[in-house]
Structure 1
Amino acid sequence: MEIFGPQSRRNLSSSNGAGTLPTISLYRSAPELEVRLEDFESFAIDRLRVLKGISDGLSRGKKPEEMEILIKDLLKENMRHQDATEVLNKDIISHFALRLVYCRSEDLRKWFLSMESALFRYRFRHLKADAQRAVMGEFDLPYGAVSNVELESIKEKLGQVARSMGQFPPTADAIFYKVPWEDVPELVAGRKVFINQGYAYVAMNQVVLLVATLFRSQLSKALILTNRKWTSSIREDEKHRLTPIVEALSSSYLGPDYSQSSEHGDISLKDIDQIAKSSFPLCMRHLFDKLKEDHHLKHGGRMQLGLFLKGVGLNLDDALAFWRAEFSKKVGLEKFEKEYAYNIRHNYGKEGKRTDYTPYSCHRIISSTPGAGDHHGCPYRHFSEENLRAALGRMGVNSRAMEDVIGKVRNRHYQLACTLTFEALHSMPCDAGINHPNQYFSDSRKILQSKVDSSLQIVIQLDTCELLL
């Protein structure tokens, strides 16, 4: 796969290197495609949205049937192409692009393997039987289909297994494969197969586990080889073009940048204390409270909170007044104007390079490394469990929800912990998950405003009824 600049044209084909499959790609070798640099990046981002959506769904404990719906929607939304004949090419290009991105460390490889395997299982299950057999042929599975004579002799046993799982007994034309039992430990552990003389009898609808295991093994080996190529040549050869894109993608935030004012309009200084209590995420609530308490924040805290406030609609004049009112209590007005006011104007693009700075995403905040005396960062990651429990209690999170939050934190699902906090405080689900502090604020304001509107509507209806009476 060759990457060209923005002015180059692509010469796409549907070849997959290991033979063309009209169903799903096995990604055995990079295709002979000429790809524009912008397509390389945009296709990778679209696929990354799918994989991160799958990751979020699995982390939230969605049921298999819920995951089926989720993956279908993710693919429909992100993996389309304006030219229907290019859908397969987009799928192949995006996979190999992300293979470069996620080959670079053990943790990245592990995540990519899990998500790509989950996506493959979904796609395989939704193939027709003949297409599934074609994919199995590509993997050259060393398992033979059970003959009709043998199938008839164990029909009753197979029926007992099916009934134990709440399924109908196999029909006369059912296809089973005879597999060494150690090759299907998941099915054996779940008592989902009949075992006889060291072999498990695997139904056609269970073969996905066998195929997915081979797919994962194949991809695992390929990622290691890709990493060797990346470190030995690609990274250096492409350091001015492709490397910056690859190194940025694994930590990319894929949502809105929230650099513009809040869609709910500017927030006023007189309302900011109340809004902070009702709609700030914990990371910003903590910074806000510490600023009010100490009348000072170090640089990291000022940047994290200041850009967040800019994104939620605090204009420059009010931002200067807000920071001045707090800092002058500790450092004095003159020192504030001399040492701090410039940075606030700079964040709003009024000084220096006039850059419109973007509020920090969850990923950036979680990845930060606050030191002693710092208050920025992600409380779910950087607080001790004791301090986190105290902070959640002050926000009003009940004990049951708090245990769920702490459980996610222990498993290092920090954004999910924030999502559960949001749901507990707003009594509303947040299916998309929290990926940005300003998203938390925006979603909170929407919910709270809808409750106010509903209350007003009820009052109006009651007043109308009284007038009619």
Structure 2
Amino acid sequence: MEIVRPQSRRNFLSSSSEAVSVPTIPLYRSAPSFEVRLEEFESFAIDRLRVLKGISDGMSRGKKPEEMENLVKDLWKVNMRHQDASEVLNKDIISHFALRLVYCRTEDLRKWFLSMESALFRYRFRLLNAEAQRAVMEEFDLPYRAVSSVEFESIKEKLGQVARSTGQPSPTADAIFYKVPFEEVPELVAGRKVLISQGYAYVAMNQIVSLVATLFRSQLSKTLILTNRKWTSSVREQEKHRLTPIVEAMCASYLGPDYSQSRECADISLKDIDQVAKSSFPLCMRHLFEKLKEDHHLKHGGRMQLGLFLKGVGLNLDDALAFWRAEFSKRVGLEKFEKQYAYGIRHNFGKEGKRTDYSPYSCTKIISSTPGTGDHHGCPYRHFSEENLRAALSRMGVNSRAMEDVIDKARNRHYQLACTLTFEALHGMPCDAGINHPNQYFSDSRKILHSKNPSA
């Protein structure tokens, strides 16, 4: 796959006869030899990333298999469509290889991508009809054949015992089973969902997804290592001025609105900021707000994180200057504030320096920060000790039952989901989209509270 400049075009699967020969789900065994425009490389990758992050959130929430199937179907339909139907397969292939390049670079990135792509493959395979599933199996060139009717009759009773033990109906005469080495279906063996005899597992057609998903995962794991070697040895340096910045930034991409402009429903002023902070600030911003009130000072990281958040929720420049001046002057004095700190506030609003209108930080950026001694910025769900997190959640009013769920998610590094559960516990309503940005938390909170009490 060659990345080309915008004016160039690619030519892949241009005829309908060629498209028919391609399996319903590509196996992504090798990068295709076609040209890709740079903007498509990025936009297609971002669309697929939305799918993978949606799957990650669904899995973290403990959704059931049938719920995950529906989720994957909806995520794919919304994000992977194309205005030209003949380009859908191209988008699928391009987006996978683009993200493979993005996520090959570290062990943690590879582990996440491998897990999410394998889950995506699994649920896409389950959504296929039997004929399409067999076509994918043929693409894997599996050496296994269906068990003969004679062999089936000899083990029918034992197959029925296994089926009944897992709550499934006994297999009928027209059932299809595959005889495979038991080590190739570890998931089914561990769950005692298959009959094992003489080193072979008898896998029903409706269980074959476990076999092909294992093969897909193994294949992808190996190619991620190879991609990383190629990226490190040559591609990164060759593309340092064009592709490399996109690749290195994408894994930390925030995929929602940037909140650089405040929304009407989110506008606040100095007179109500204390009250609103208690009711609608996410924990990361509430902690910074409280520390500012307590110490009358924040280090640079804290000033940036809280300052841009307040800008995004509607605090205008004059009010922002008044807010920070009122707190900092209590510790450093008015003159020092005007000399050392007022410039930074005006700078965030695009009134100094490069005149850039800076955007509030997303959850991804906040989680990835590394606060040092004396710093109060960053994500509390990641950076707080469990004891401090419990105390902070208690002060917010999170009940003990919900708190255990939040702590469990934070302990397992699902920080945004922990924040989402906090939001749901405090507002008594589900947040299906999940929390991805502090300003989204604030905006959604104000909408809910306003619907409950329009005068608030």
Letter in 2 for 1:372: T
Structure 2 match to 1:465: none
Structure 1 segments of 4+ aligned residues over 6 angstroms from their partners: none
User: What is the SS of the residue equivalent to 1:3?
Assistant: strand
- Deviation of 1:130 after TM superposition, in Å, equals 2.1
Cα distance in structure 2, aligned partners of 1:90 and 1:294: 52
Name the CA distance, whole Å, in 2 between partners of 1:167 and 1:363: 43
1:464 aligned residue: none
- The CA distance in 2 between the partners of 1:291 and 1:225, in whole Å, is 49
Instruction: Give the Cα–Cα distance (whole angstroms) in 2 for the partners of residues 187 and 10 of structure 1.
Output: 42
Q: What is the aligned partner in structure 1 of residue 348 from structure 2?
A: 347
2: distance between equivalents of 1:137 and 1:22?
9
Counterparts in 2 of 1:215-254, with a 5 A limit?
Answer: 215-254=216-255
Matching residue of 2:326: 325
Residue of structure 1 in register with 2:284 after alignment: 283
For residues 120-135 of structure 1, the aligned pairs below 5 Å read: 120-135=121-136
Q: Give matches, 1:91-106, under 5 Å.
A: 91-106=92-107
Cα shift at 1:12: 2.8
Output aligned runs, 1:308-387, within 5 Å: 308-387=309-388
TM-score where L is the length of structure 1: 0.94
What amino acid is the match of 1:244? P
Structure 1 counterpart of 2:7, which letter? Q
Partner amino acid for 1:337? E
Question: 1:18–1:28: 8 Å Cα contact kept in structure 2?
Answer: no
Change (3 A) 1:135 1:14: farther
Give the Cα separation in 1 of the matches to 2:223 and 2:372.
Answer: 39
Q: Is the 8 A contact 1:14 1:88 kept in 2?
A: no
Whether 2:195 is the aligned partner of 1:175: answer no
Q: Is the 8 A contact 2:147 2:176 kept in 1?
A: yes
Amino acid at match of 2:236: R
2:409 maps to what in 1? 408
Q: Distance in 2 between matches of 1:422 and 1:20?
A: 48
Decide whether the 8 Å contact of 1:3 with 1:34 is kept in 2.
Answer: yes
Counterpart Cα distance in 1 of 2:217 and 2:19: 17
Q: Which amino acid letter does the alignment assign opposite residue 13 of structure 1?
A: L
Q: Deviations over 1:240-262 (max 9, x none)?
A: 11111110111111111010013
Which residue type is aligned with residue 218 of structure 1?
A: Q
Q: Do the aligned partners of 2:184 and 2:214 also contact (CA within 8 Å) in 1?
A: no
Amino acid at match of 1:264: C
Check the 8 A contact 1:26/1:215 in 2, yes or no. yes
**2:12 — aligned with what?**
12
What per-residue deviation string (whole Å, max 9, x for no partner) do you get for residues 292-344 of structure 1? 11111111111000000000111111111111111111111111111111111
Paired with 1:198 and 1:91, the residues of 2 have a C-alpha distance of: 38
Q: 1:159 touches 1:170 (CA, 8 Å); kept in 2?
A: yes
SS at 2:102 equivalent: helix
Answer whether contact 1:57 1:67 (CA < 8 A) is retained: yes
Q: Which amino acid aligns with 2:298?
A: L
- TM, length-normalised to structure 2: 0.96
| Residue ranges of structure 1 left out of the alignment (5+ in a row) | 457-469
Of 419-428 and 184-193, the range deviating more from structure 2? 184-193
Structure 1 residue 14, shift from structure 2 partner? 6.3
The question of whether the paired residues in 1 share the 8 Å contact of 2:13 and 2:19 is answered with: no
How far did 1:155 drift?
Answer: 2.0
Number of residue pairs matched?
454
1:395 match: 396
1:270-311 Cα distance to aligned partner (Å, 9 max, x none): 110000000000110011011111111111111000000000
Which residue pairs with 1:461 in the alignment? none
Aligned residues: CA RMSD: 1.7
Tell me if structure 1 keeps the 8 A contact 2:296–2:327.
yes
Runs (5+) with no aligned partner, structure 2: none
Partner residue, 1:462: none
Spell out, residue by residue over 1:327-364, the C-alpha distance to the aligned partner (whole angstroms, 9 max, x if none).
11111111111111111111011111110101001111
State the AA in 2 paired with 1:289: E
Quick check: 1:13–1:33 contact (8 Å CA) kept in 2?
A: no
Supply the AA of the counterpart residue of 2:131: D
Distance in 2 between residues matched to 1:398 and 1:234, nearest whole Å: 51
- Report how far residue 33 of structure 1 moved: 1.4
Structure 2 counterpart SS, 1:289? helix
Choose 395-404 or 302-311, whichever is displaced more.
395-404
Separation of aligned partners in 2, 1:94 and 1:265: 35
| Structure-2 separation of matches of 1:18 and 1:289 | 59
Partners of 1:389 and 1:124 lie apart in 2 by: 42
**Letter aligned with residue 254 of structure 1:** L
Give per-residue Cα distances to partners, 1:131-178, cap 9 Å, x unaligned.
Answer: 222211221223221001111222222223223333222232211001
Shift of 1:19: 10
Contact preservation (8 Å) 1:13, 1:32 = no
Letter in 1 for 2:305: Q
AA of the residue aligned to 2:41:
F
SS at match of 1:270: helix
Flag the 1:71–1:158 CA change in 2: closer, same or farther, 3 A.
Answer: same
Shift of residue 8 of structure 1? 1.9
AA at the equivalent of 2:322: A
Q: Counterparts of 2:189 and 2:251 in 1: how far apart (Å)?
A: 36
